[in-house]
Amino acid sequence: LKPAVHALFKKLKDEELELLVQVVESRGAWESGCVLAPRGDPRGVKQGLPPQVLLCRLFRWPDLHQSHELKHLCYCAGGQGACGDLAGLCCNPHHFSRLAVPETPPPPYLKASCEHENQGMEPAVTPSRRKRLRQGMRGSCWGSLCSPLPGTSLSWSTIKDGCWCKLAYWEYRTRVGRLYAVHEASVNVFCELPWGSGFCLAQLPAAYRSCAVRRARGKIGRGLLLSQEPGGVWAYNRSEHPIFVSSPTLSPPGACGLTVLKVLPGYSAKVFDYQWAGDRGGWQLPGEGPCDPHSIRISFAKGWGPCYSRQFITSCPCWLEV
């Protein structure tokens, strides 16, 4: 990659190079601006890789091959549809994540949707449903698109408070701290995040914490980024350890088992799909009873479910309910 990198660096302005140095040295610990590379492939370079693929491969993922394996993070100007208006293409390696995929092949009817996501395309949405989704993005949750079940814990209160989600932090079966309401389009959930803001789990006190909980909390680090984007909610793993996610829209309709998706460090996953959620009824978890059909559960560093020794998320030392 050396000739291609040198050819790219020669085309970057001094301020772009300085920003790139800061981003790489901090390993994306703070939300930086875009590093803009001139449009067009470098001349005389055999690899011919796009700038964002070149720098992501150099500084983050040596096994990266194609641009469709990457996803713009929500705070990148290029990911907000403004890339065509910018003077160049963003190649900040920490403005991208890789796309997480299930460990087992999805059912056949999901393949087309997965391919669309990899190409950055949205699934087809009817005009009436698109209008309701836009209303939901303005803070009224999902409106009549998918009404909450009677007795669910958070959905109605979330609609009433005008936020798009609320966060609850759990240690085993005990909830720690108050609910955290999210009004911005994205939120960081972390224990250690310099120059950042959001839901800091390190500030939540508890009367007693076991050794297992303290070890798990030590692995949260920079945690994750939750973002509400067109069509659904995405989770980006900013920590150095995997996170594990379950959601009603990750499981095939009518499935008896529970789907738990493992999201590796530096990867993103679409953890809630508004269109699929509109076709769901109640969410019945084996061994745990009914669950809010609009909820997401995320465990830090420890997996659960049929493929793990922990069968239920309440057996995980640190987890988040969204």
- Predicted TM-score (pTM) of the model is 0.77
Tokens of 105: 């092949």
118 pLDDT more than 90: no
79 pLDDT more than 90: no
95: helix, strand or coil = helix
Instruction: Using alpha carbons, select from 181, 184, 190 the residue that is nearest to residue 154.
Output: 181
The CA distance from 89 to 73, in Å, is 14
Q: What is the b/e burial string over 238-275, where b = at least 16 CB atoms within 10 angstroms of the residue's CB?
A: bbeebbbbbbbbbbeeeeeebbbbbbebbbbbbbbbbb
Residue 305 Rama label (left phi>0; alpha psi -120 to 50; beta): left
Region 108-129: what's the mean pLDDT?
A: 37
* Least trusted range by pLDDT, from 63-77, 203-217, 277-291, 293-307: 277-291
Asked whether the beta carbons of 236 and 97 are under 8 A apart, the reply is: yes
| Domain at 1-39+48-99, CATH from 3.40.630.10, 3.40.250.10, 3.90.520.10, 3.40.50.300 | 3.90.520.10
* Rounded alpha-carbon distances, angstroms, from residue 298 to 91, 203, 212, 223, 243: 30, 19, 17, 11, 7
40 pLDDT more than 70: no
* Topology of the domain covering 159-280+290-321: Tumour Suppressor Smad4 (2.60.200)
Taking all residues of the chain, what is their mean pLDDT, rounded to a whole number?
Answer: 78
The CA distance from 191 to 206, in Å, is 14
User: Looking at per-residue confidence, does 152 or 193 come out higher?
Assistant: 193
Q: What is the pLDDT of residue 43?
A: 47
* Least trusted range by pLDDT, from 31-45, 163-177, 308-322: 31-45
- CATH 2.60.200.10 maps onto the chain at 159-280+290-321
Q: What is the pLDDT of residue 175?
A: 94
